Amino acid sequence: MELFQNTRFDFLGSKWLFITASLLLTVAGIASLIVKGGPRYGIDFQGGSVMDVQWVGTPPVSEIRSALSARLTGVSVVEAHDLTGSNELLISTQLVGQSDLTSLRQTIDDGLARMGGTYSVRSFEVIGPQIGSDLRNQAVLATASASAGMLAYLAWRFRWIYGVAAVIAVVHDTLITIGLFSLANKEISLTVVAALLTLIGYSMNDTIVVFDRIRENRKRLPREPLRAVVNLSINQTLSRTALSSGLTLLTALSLLCFGGLVLNGFSFALVAGIIVGTYSSIFVASPILVAWEQWVGGGIR
């Protein structure tokens, strides 16, 4: 199915607009991370308890936070409204020493009961700090290993500069997505890491499709400058990019709207990453190939 036929958009002519936008988002995200002392990790990585509560009516968030903060440490109460009209609370606390989990849950229940509202507890989870630290290290290792593996594959499948360009685009996508989490004051949990790994693969796949068409067109049009070949290749793969990205984005948006608090971080990462990853394959990875040819002066085979 071809949504766009015989398009002649000059994508590389607009690259600086998107590169500038990327730089601004990256700098804003890094600045936010520095000011806030790093990412806001969820209990998956720092240890603690989390209770998912379904509340009937409008929950008194500030009163709940004050009541629980008087008895517990590191209390966070986040409210969410979905399109079904339900109200959901995600109550997280830090663990202090050898906390009695039964009394911890009872303390939270007592604080909620004092509010006089009607609610139901959907889930209650506890993760120790040592497990959280191990999970954080494993998440970093998994992300680094995935990037290294993809770099090696592209260097073997195409040329090393293709792999470098693709990995730069992936790092760009990851930095902006994490920066957006910091700007939005959202927690990074295991589900968010899963979303980031998904986006790395998705962005890499989108970039490979464009690179493969560039390689084919270079063989077919050996006398054409690389800039023209890259523009032609992006135009030829535009329909595929729009369809795959558009459909995936619609799915992620539905998760963001209807998935509730548990899936909010995961779906937010997907929505942000799909948008950023789609344009990075066009306006970040592809211009790197052209810039490399102009720098070395020998062209890319």
Given a cut of 70, whether residue 193 has pLDDT beyond it is yes
Say yes or no: domain 48-127 is CATH 3.40.50.300.
no
Question: Of all helices (H) and strands (E), which one includes residue 126?
Answer: strand 119-127
What is the residue-wise DSSP string for 6-73? S----TGGGHHHHHHHHHHHHHHHHHHHHHTTS--B-HHHH-EEEEEEEESS---HHHHHHHHHTTSS
| HSE-CB for 48 with a 13 A CA cutoff | 19
Quick check: helix, strand or coil at residue 2?
A: coil
- What digits encode the pLDDT tens for the residues 97-133? 555 667 778 888 888 888 888 888 888 888 766 666 7
For the chain, the structural domain boundaries read 12-41+131-296, 48-127
Query: What pLDDT score was predicted for residue 299?
Result: 47
Percent of the chain with pLDDT strictly greater than 90 = 15
For residues 284-295, average pLDDT: 85
For residues 130-146, average pLDDT: 75
Given a cut of 80, whether residue 281 has pLDDT beyond it is yes
Instruction: Select from 130, 59, 67 the least CA-distant residue to 93.
Output: 67
Nearest-angstrom CA–CA distance, 261 and 169: 29
Topology (CATH level 3) of domain 12-41+131-296 = Multidrug efflux transporter AcrB transmembrane fold (1.20.1640)
For residues 168-184, average pLDDT: 91
Out of 68-82, 159-173, 174-188, give the one with best mean pLDDT: 174-188
Mean pLDDT in the chain? 83
Query: What pLDDT score was predicted for residue 274?
Result: 92
Same fold, 12-41+131-296 and 48-127: no
Judge contact between 257 and 84, C-beta under 8 A: no
Query: What pLDDT score was predicted for residue 98?
Result: 54
Instruction: Select from 279, 276, 281, 275 the least CA-distant residue to 249.
Output: 275
